[in-house]
Amino acid sequence: MALIVQKYGGTSVANSERVIEVARRVIEYKKMGNDVIVVVSAPAGTTDSLLKRAYEISEKPSKRELDMLLTSGEQISIASLAIAIETLGEKAISLNAFQVKFKTTSDHTKAEILDIDTTLIKEKLSEGNVVVFAGFQGITEKHEITTLGRGGSDTTAVALGAALNADEVEIYTDVDGIYTADPRVVPNSKKLEAISYEEMLELAASGAKVLHPRSVEIAAKYNIKIHLRSSFDNSIGTIVKKSEGEEMEKVKIIGITSSKNEGKITLSGLPDKPGIAAKVFSQLAKAKINTDIILQSSSVNKELNNISYTVNINDLKEAKEISEKLKDELGAEGVTSEDKIAKISVIGIGLKTHYETTAEIFDTLAENNINIDMISCSEINVSCIIKEEDIDKAVKALHERFIELD
């Protein structure tokens, strides 16, 4: 008997018919003799609808109340799925974070997992139930409801898999695995049968929306195999697992990712002295805002610097507010923001030490008249910030050069 954790996204439980289809799939696994835990997201569109309601009422709603509001979406899904499973003849019980004691930090809307008490889940599994658990949510030591932020249900599922030592975590979405590029942009992109944690982490962090980086980090830490599959067919999907031996010193391009969810902040005319950058990024860190690409450049006056950084577009407004508050303290001349930008990333092994590959990336973009604003390089990732209007052209050009012609 295996212990399987399955996670279904919002499109998989968007309406009653799809909930019933998910219930049938879950029951198939149960009848094979498996213990099954199902983590579900809110129905597609529900979270956005709830956010819209909150911001129609207030320009700046309390983060605590936002968490209380947003977790209602998952409540709909878990109860609906449990009802469907029971209607089809299997035992099921829905549980939320409060009942399970799914403990997190007190950082509302961006909480981090501290501990999971698996006692109740194990008890309900031993009674023959399919356990249907609410993704995305947690509870603090003071019994406050929290949410885990973007990709929270993925993170919930993998964290449960780690806490329960599950045999496998299956993530079901509206796509059937990981591709070398977005199939909607590059129709002849190739599906990957398997990918390492490290490669998946770079893909996820660079814009691939199938799996959230936090869930991959947990999977790598606890060596939990993740199986990415489609809710709408029985295709094999993609396995995310521990890396296997690769040919020494050979460049291996895994995929091309893109993200239009990018925003850029620039603090211009900063004094060129120690501690300036530390003050900026420590304040962003306190607000739980992740920065991605950072660029420091000298102005015409060599005694002044400019600092630019990118964030998720959802954090752009708050990041700008923080930077503007620091402007006078730091002696900056100005703060500007941009939102019509995008990030293109080439993911592979050995990129940093194979200079010719990096040069080919820049040559390919130049040949297609695509200007680069910012650059970030690591061992397995070369990312460039470009104009949003150029992103699809960039993906197609780089995929043709490094995947199709390889």
* Tens-digit pLDDT profile for residues 117-142: 999 999 999 999 999 999 999 999 99
Summarize the confidence of residues 36-57 as an average pLDDT.
96
**H or E stretch covering 172:** strand 168-173
What is the structure's pLDDT at 246? Answer: 56
Q: How many residues does the chain have?
A: 406
What is the structure's pLDDT at 35? Answer: 97
Mean of all residue pLDDT scores within the chain: 92
In whole angstroms, what is the distance from residue 214 CA to residue 351 CA?
Answer: 23
Summarize the confidence of residues 213-237 as an average pLDDT.
91
The residue behind tokens 């509206």 is 174
pLDDT at residue 249 tops 60: no
Q: What percent of the chain has pLDDT over 90?
A: 78
Interior angle at CA 33, CA 31 and CA 35, nearest 5: 100
Token readout for 313 is 């577009």
pLDDT at residue 365 tops 60: yes
What is the structure's pLDDT at 348? Answer: 86
281-334 pLDDT, tens digit each: 999 999 999 999 999 987 666 688 999 999 999 999 999 999 999 998 999 999
pLDDT at residue 359 tops 60: yes
In whole angstroms, what is the distance from residue 174 CA to residue 360 CA?
Answer: 33
In whole angstroms, what is the distance from residue 262 CA to residue 383 CA?
Answer: 12
What is the structure's pLDDT at 250? Answer: 58
Summarize the confidence of residues 86-90 as an average pLDDT.
98
pLDDT at residue 248 tops 50: no
Q: How far is CA 325 from the centre of its chain?
A: 29
What is the structure's pLDDT at 352? Answer: 66
- Beta carbons of 226 and 213 less than 8 angstroms apart: no
**b/e 152-187 (16+ beta carbons within 10 angstroms → b):** bbbbbbbbbbbbbebebbbbbbebbbbbbbbeebbe
pLDDT at residue 356 tops 90: no
- Beta carbons of 120 and 83 less than 8 angstroms apart: no
What is the structure's pLDDT at 251? Answer: 62
| Between residues 210 and 334, the one the model is more confident about | 334
What are the residues whose beta carbons fall under 8 Å from the beta carbon of 59, sequence distance 6 or more? none
Q: How confident is the model at residue 380 (pLDDT cuts 50, 70, 90)?
A: confident
The residue behind tokens 């390919």 is 364
What is the structure's pLDDT at 84? Answer: 98
CA distances from 110 to 117, 149, 227, 286 (A): 20, 5, 25, 11
Q: What percent of the chain has pLDDT over 70?
A: 96
Q: How far is CA 288 from the centre of its chain?
A: 15
Token readout for 230 is 């489609």
pLDDT at residue 160 tops 80: yes
Q: How confident is the model at residue 393 (pLDDT cuts 50, 70, 90)?
A: very high
Interior angle at CA 275, CA 269 and CA 277, nearest 5: 55
- Beta carbons of 263 and 315 less than 8 angstroms apart: yes
Token readout for 274 is 């120690």
Pairing of strands 238-241, 291-298: unpaired
